[in-house]
Amino acid sequence: MKKSKLNDVNVVGGGLAGSEAAWQLAQLGFTVHLFEMRPKTMTPAHVSGKFGELVCSNSLGSTLGLAPATLLKDEMRLLDSLIIKAGESARVPAGSALAVDREAFSQGITEVLEDHPNIVIHHEVVSEILSGPTVIATGPLTHESLTEAISDLVGAKMLSFFDAAAPIVLAESVDMNHAFWGSREGNQDYLNCPLTKDEYMAFYDALIHAEQHMGHDFESATFFEGCLPIEELARRGVKTPLYGPMKPIGLENPFEQGRRPYAVVQLRRDNAAGSLMSLVGFQTNLRWGEQKRVFGLIPALHDAEFVRYGVMHRNTYLKSPAILRPTLNAKVREDLWFAGQMTGVEGYVESAATGIMVARYIAQWLEHGNIQPFPRDTMMGALAYYITHTDPEHFQPMNANFGLLNLPPEIQQIHDKKARRRWLRDRALSSLKDYLEHIGVEVSHHETR
Ligand SMILES: Cc1cc2nc3c(=O)[nH]c(=O)nc-3n(C[C@H](O)[C@H](O)[C@H](O)COP(=O)(O)OP(=O)(O)OC[C@H]3O[C@@H](n4cnc5c(N)ncnc54)[C@H](O)[C@@H]3O)c2cc1C
């Protein structure tokens, strides 16, 4: 398909959503101007100038058959997702999760985008809303200058809240006399650091009394439930971590004749070499010195070398139900789309999914002047529907989950949860295929899991 200059599209932000949108548009034959401020101007969380950098966990979510994250990834595969392909190429062992070597992952995405003949890369800060068809995908750490420009345009206040990242330690610094490989699912993918009851109580007490970063911004912090700092979780009750990230169920401690430990901290490989290990579920806002002291009370981590401490950051997102159309373009400007975390979806894969949707919407709009939204019974369509139809005053970021998909009454009556989910999954995939056929898209053959 030959495109005129008028069919040039700007994509601002080369994170998960922007990289995916740029790739999809370029594959469709559009000329894409991809603007990314890194490495010249960094965010507080990114560390490189690469596209698609993962700022915290290295997991792209579950691959279990009936998990919502699996359905989302399956839908994205049908649309030839760059992020999913890069994730599969950079995969590291992590049980049922699609975890990646973060370096290889972003390097793979960077090479694809840099080599694409239809993509022109500009490493610069965008401080105003560009004219012509534009996607803004600048993420939770959008540069202030652009945040102001967006606020001026949409005339509504931006909301912000805070996310927390978990620390990473050097694998070789973990004391293997107090740690063992294994997982709650029976494989050997996690390095488990057990605690006795006494050790747990000492750790718990230190954790809830440790000093936190208390910048002005953090004083009024509210947290997304899925990313609660471990100290916040612990303050909810002495046993709360034991039902969350420190759950010992399914684990047998070889140092205690195979008995179940009282509590466990699990470490997961953070790179393919397995030299870096992240503390699963241990997002934190403790001061760095306090992290070393408090996490050092976990016997296996008494001499652990922290290569990255847990950190907290701003998360900026739009009041999307008030600002965006169901097709993710601005109510005040039809040719301005938003994608990624700033639309109020939560998570790497969800962000990339909005990048795909937006690319398809732009293609339809430029070619036919109107847009067919993704069906609501697909996970992608349900997410987009949620963020554009919820009560704007109580709008909170959302990740993929089966609660977003409507269940007809006859299916609600099926007691077996797995059977209900299977039904929802099958309906979603078949509905997406119909939709793609309807809008004239060839379904990708990259459908393998
Ligand atoms: C500290 C922290 C921890 C997180 N942990 C997780 C996690 O563990 N798991 C998870 O799924 N999600 C996590 N998230 C959410 C995560 O940011 C998103 O899931 C995902 O990165 C969002 O993708 P995105 O493309 O919207 O934004 P990003 O991936 O952040 O990409 C936005 C890009 O825009 C660029 N940019 C910003 N402003 C401008 C500008 N004005 N001009 C040009 N370029 C600009 C940035 O440099 C960046 O590259 C975390 C977020 C933060 C802040």
In the chain, what are the domains? 5-164+314-438 (3.50.50.60), 168-310 (2.40.30)
Q: How far is residue 317's CA from residue 277's CA, in Å, rounded to a whole number?
A: 30
Q: Is 290 in the pocket of ligand 1 (CB under 6 A)?
A: no
Atom 53 (ligand 1) nearest CA: 313
Q: How far is residue 295's CA from residue 134's CA, in Å, rounded to a whole number?
A: 45
49 is in an annotated binding site: no
187 CA to centre of ligand 1 in angstroms: 31
The closest alpha carbon to 354, from 122, 72, 58, belongs to 72
Write phi, then psi, for 106 (nearest 5 degrees): -75, -30
Write phi, then psi, for 112 (nearest 5 degrees): -60, -45
61 is in an annotated binding site: no
Question: Do the bridges between strand 263-269 and strand 97-100 make them parallel or antiparallel, or are there none, so unpaired?
Answer: unpaired
362 CA to centre of ligand 1 in angstroms: 22
The closest alpha carbon to 193, from 275, 268, 244, belongs to 268
Tens-digit pLDDT string for the chain (449 aa): 434 456 899 999 999 999 999 999 999 999 999 999 999 999 988 999 999 999 888 999 999 999 999 999 999 999 999 999 999 999 999 999 999 999 999 999 999 999 999 999 999 999 999 999 999 999 999 999 999 899 889 875 665 556 667 899 989 999 999 999 999 888 999 999 999 999 999 999 999 999 987 543 443 455 556 668 999 999 999 999 999 999 999 999 999 999 999 999 999 998 877 888 999 999 999 988 999 999 999 999 999 998 878 877 677 889 899 999 999 999 999 999 999 999 989 889 999 999 999 999 999 999 999 999 999 999 999 999 999 998 877 677 788 988 889 888 898 888 898 999 999 999 999 999 999 999 998 876 654 44
Sheet holding 119-122, edge to edge: 119-122, 31-35, 8-12, 134-136, 336-338
Element (H, E) at 276: strand 276-279
347 CA to centre of ligand 1 in angstroms: 9
- Scan for tokens 């393919």, then name that residue: 272
Q: Is 292 in the pocket of ligand 1 (CB under 6 A)?
A: no
Write phi, then psi, for 168 (nearest 5 degrees): -125, 135
Q: Is 281 in the pocket of ligand 1 (CB under 6 A)?
A: no
238 CA to centre of ligand 1 in angstroms: 33
Residue 280: strand, helix, or coil: coil
Q: How far is residue 184's CA from residue 440's CA, in Å, rounded to a whole number?
A: 44
Q: What is the pLDDT of residue 159?
A: 54
Atom 17 (ligand 1) nearest CA: 140
Q: Is 55 in the pocket of ligand 1 (CB under 6 A)?
A: yes
Write phi, then psi, for 134 (nearest 5 degrees): -140, 140
65 is in an annotated binding site: no
